């Protein structure tokens, strides 16, 4: 199904361009994740660099692949590619830069520069990446979407932010390469960068994902799945893969949830166990199990990076809530 997704996105956008109206589409257009997608498209077409803050299990690759399909249509046309930097997890700065440059050079449609193999320092790699961002004077604008920045050496993350900023300042006219960096990190961003947060699925989006993967389901069961799992994309999609029978079992028998989640459930339990070993974080989770609370940044940011809570801004005030009701099973038994 995933290979057909860009085709469906293109068909949807072409239909809108001819003033077609889908009476159901308003539910998707009003969802938080769709609003984030629209905002990202606007900034990309304006040539602005974007940092997309993601939580664990939020499926940023799938989100950005949809964005890439969207911006390949319209004006200016952007040829975007999504690259996960997960393979460099745990690598040093120079190793990470070497892997990045090997991957990004063909991705951005540039041939290897003579002398590239002699780059042996961060400054050498920084200069090479800056050259890549200069792009070609003709042809479509290119988009570079890097995901999983939490796996990348933090010095390299800072290098990427600095170089994109410098390339934008040096450019004469619109940017030839637009950049999205996505990850569960919080680098210091210059004022010219746009900071967005990738939300979880809303109820309509969770229903769409379930139907796309599992086929038609009774409408009454779709909101129940969203309520049970908080719209966390990886969780919703994993359970949808179990099919209608698996979804029914999950909604009727709470114990079936953990069995059906499989390795994803093990990941969630592991993340909770690690956090629970810190007394302050464990007590904070117990407090959040009672309901939404004002955000305590020094604790809640760590919990958010672990994928266990969501920080929302309402009426100028930051509030924190458990990311999914499923976590109450673990808090109660801790």
- pLDDT higher at 287 or 207: 287
Structure tokens of 256? 């079936």
> Average pLDDT for residues 82-96, to the nearest whole number?
94
126 and 73 fall within a common domain = yes
> Average pLDDT for residues 77-82, to the nearest whole number?
93
Identify the domain boundary among 154, 176, 197.
Answer: 197
117 and 145 fall within a common domain = yes
Q: Identify the band that residue 20 occupies on the pLDDT scale cut at 50, 70 and 90.
A: very low
Does 40 fall in a domain?
yes
19 and 108 fall within a common domain = yes
Does 189 fall in a domain?
yes
Residue with tokens 């960068």: 193
Strand partners, 317: 314
Instruction: Check residue 112 and report its DSSP letter.
Output: P
| Pick from 64-68, 215-219, 289-293, 313-317: least confident | 215-219
pLDDT (tens digit per residue) in 131-180: 888 766 667 889 999 999 999 999 999 999 999 999 888 877 778 899 99
Does 266 fall in a domain?
no
123 and 240 fall within a common domain = no
The angle subtended at Cα 74 by Cα 73 and Cα 79, nearest 5°, is: 50
Identify the domain boundary among 229, 261, 293.
Answer: 261
Instruction: Give the pLDDT of residue 5.
Output: 62
| Pick from 175-179, 190-194, 195-199, 216-220: least confident | 216-220
Does 134 fall in a domain?
yes
Sheet containing strand 177-183, edge to edge, reads 78-84, 141-147, 177-183, 50-53, 194-197
Q: Identify the band that residue 21 occupies on the pLDDT scale cut at 50, 70 and 90.
A: very low
Does 7 fall in a domain?
yes
pLDDT (tens digit per residue) in 233-249: 999 999 888 888 888 88
Share of residues in the chain with pLDDT > 90 (%): 49
256 and 282 fall within a common domain = no
Identify the domain boundary among 212, 239, 261.
Answer: 261
58 and 185 fall within a common domain = yes
Residue 112's nearest CA partner among 91, 131, 94, 136 is 131
173 and 75 fall within a common domain = yes
175 and 225 fall within a common domain = no
> Average pLDDT for residues 258-282, to the nearest whole number?
93
Instruction: Give the pLDDT of residue 114.
Output: 46
pLDDT higher than threshold 80 for residue 213: yes
Does 321 fall in a domain?
yes
Instruction: Give the pLDDT of residue 214.
Output: 79
Query: Contact, 325 vs 227, CB < 8 A?
Result: yes
Kindly report the pTM of this predicted structure. 0.84
Q: Which domain holds residue 328?
A: 271-333
Q: Identify the band that residue 286 occupies on the pLDDT scale cut at 50, 70 and 90.
A: very high
Structure tokens of 114? 């003579």
220 and 104 fall within a common domain = no
173 and 255 fall within a common domain = no
242 and 157 fall within a common domain = no
Does 105 fall in a domain?
yes
The domain total for the chain is 3
């Amino acid at each position: 199904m995933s290979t057909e997704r860009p085709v469906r996105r293109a068909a949807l956008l072409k239909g809108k361009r001819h003033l077609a109206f889908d009476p159901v589409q308003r539910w998707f257009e009003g969802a938080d994740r769709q609003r984030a997608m629209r905002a990202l498209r606007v900034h990309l077409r304006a040539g602005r660099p974007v940092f997309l803050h993601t939580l664990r299990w939020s499926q940023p690759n799938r989100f950005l692949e949809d964005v890439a399909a969207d911006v390949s249509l319209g004006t200016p046309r952007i040829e975007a590619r999504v690259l996960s930097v997960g393979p460099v997890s745990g690598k040093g700065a120079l190793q990470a830069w070497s892997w990045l440059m090997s991957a990004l050079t063909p991705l951005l449609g540039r041939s290897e520069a003579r002398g590239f193999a002699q780059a042996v320092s961060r400054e050498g790699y920084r200069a090479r990446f800056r050259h890549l961002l200069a792009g070609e004077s003709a042809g479509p604008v290119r988009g570079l979407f890097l995901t999983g920045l939490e796996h990348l050496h933090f010095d390299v993350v800072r290098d990427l932010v600095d170089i994109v900023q410098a390339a934008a300042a040096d450019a004469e006219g619109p940017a030839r390469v637009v950049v999205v960096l996505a990850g569960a990190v919080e680098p210091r961003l210059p004022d010219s960068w746009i900071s967005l947060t990738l939300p979880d699925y809303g109820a309509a989006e969770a229903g769409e994902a379930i139907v796309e993967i599992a086929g038609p389901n009774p409408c009454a069961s779709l909101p129940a799945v969203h309520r049970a799992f908080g719209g966390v994309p990886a969780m919703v999609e994993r359970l949808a893969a179990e099919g209608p029978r698996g979804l029914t079992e999950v909604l009727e028998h709470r114990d079936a949830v953990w069995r059906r989640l499989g390795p994803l459930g093990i990941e969630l339990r592991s993340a909770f166990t690690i956090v629970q070993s810190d007394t302050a974080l464990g007590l904070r989770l117990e407090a959040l199990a009672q309901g939404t609370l004002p955000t305590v940044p020094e604790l809640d940011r760590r919990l958010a990076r672990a994928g266990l809570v969501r920080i929302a801004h309402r009426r100028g005030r930051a509030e924190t809530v458990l990311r999914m009701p499923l976590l109450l099973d673990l808090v109660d038994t801790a």
